[in-house]
Amino acid sequence: MGVVSKCLISAGPTREWIDAVRFLSNPSTGKMGYALASEAKKVGLEVTLVSGPVCLPPPPGVTLIKVESALEMREAVLEEFQNSELVIMSAAVSDHRPDFLSFEKLKKDKFPDQLKLIRNPDILAELGEIKLPSQTLVGFAAETEDHLLHARSKLITKNLDWIVLNDIGSPLTGFDSDTNEVTLLSRNEESVSLKISTKTEIASGILEIIWK
Ligand code: C5P
């Protein structure tokens, strides 16, 4: 049997804690990333899934690394990156974290009226800078407007091989839905659309295109 290729996937939201009971986050459920991890395993890849907090069972046969914040996700992803031939970042990483953290629950009258935010590192862009020609790097673009324009610009600025454009403006393709509809754009100017189907079918379609 030949050497098994390794695949690294990020999924889910991140949580940026403010105090013991409050955080900044987004409605990502991790369904798309978990479906990609299951399908990648099925096509024979050795899969590591770095996941923010979600309510999904771990995909069988996949190494699951659980994280919470964007900084933790970055650390886990960078640790695995060099050994991975295929890297798919589908996590909805919080772009900001509060510059303030209390380990106790703050009383209402102690909670700050204004929160100062710090920009989180862009994990995918960092990977784009260090990636080798032998690695395939895939990002997601969740857009509500000027979809193709934004996706193309991310493909270039983050130095990706493929970007998966996801219209989150519709309830059938948004964060918590079981279905999705995507367009894949490649650095070689290929463009492939996958019509609305279950996230499992979309995941399988994405892998067929990016991992030939
Ligand atoms: O620029 P934007 O956040 O829309 O890009 C989305 C892509 O970048 C996704 O693949 C997401 O996983 C990744 N990303 C990241 N780190 C961030 C923000 C986004 O890896 N801080």
Nearest atom (ligand 1) to Cα of 163: 10
Written as six digits, the tokens of 40 are 């990648």
Out of 89, 155, 161, mutate this one to test ligand 1's pocket (max ligand atoms within 8 Å of CB): namely: 89
41-51 pLDDT tens trace: 999 999 999 99
118-132 pLDDT tens trace: 999 999 999 999 999
188-202 pLDDT tens trace: 999 999 999 999 999
pLDDT of residue 173: 82
Candidate from 12-26, 141-155, 188-202 with smallest mean pLDDT:
141-155
Measure the N-to-C terminal CA separation of the chain; round to a whole number of Å: 18
User: What percentage of the chain exceeds 90 in pLDDT?
Assistant: 89
- The finding on whether 128 has its CB within 6 A of some atom of ligand 1 is no
CA 31, 170, 87: angle at the middle one, nearest 5?
Answer: 35
- The finding on whether 93 has its CB within 6 A of some atom of ligand 1 is yes
Bigger pLDDT: 163 or 173? 163
Q: Give CA separation, 10 vs 7, 52, 161, 199, in Å.
A: 10, 8, 16, 15
Active site residue 180: no
- The finding on whether 89 has its CB within 6 A of some atom of ligand 1 is yes
13 Cα: distance to centroid of ligand 1 (angstroms): 11
- Model pTM score: 0.96
Q: Give CA separation, 117 vs 14, 18, 34, 69, 99, in Å.
A: 15, 11, 29, 14, 6
Whether 1 shows a pLDDT value over 60: the answer reads no
pLDDT of residue 55: 97
> Domains in the chain and their CATH numbers?
6-97+114-210 (3.40.50.10300)
- The finding on whether 137 has its CB within 6 A of some atom of ligand 1 is no
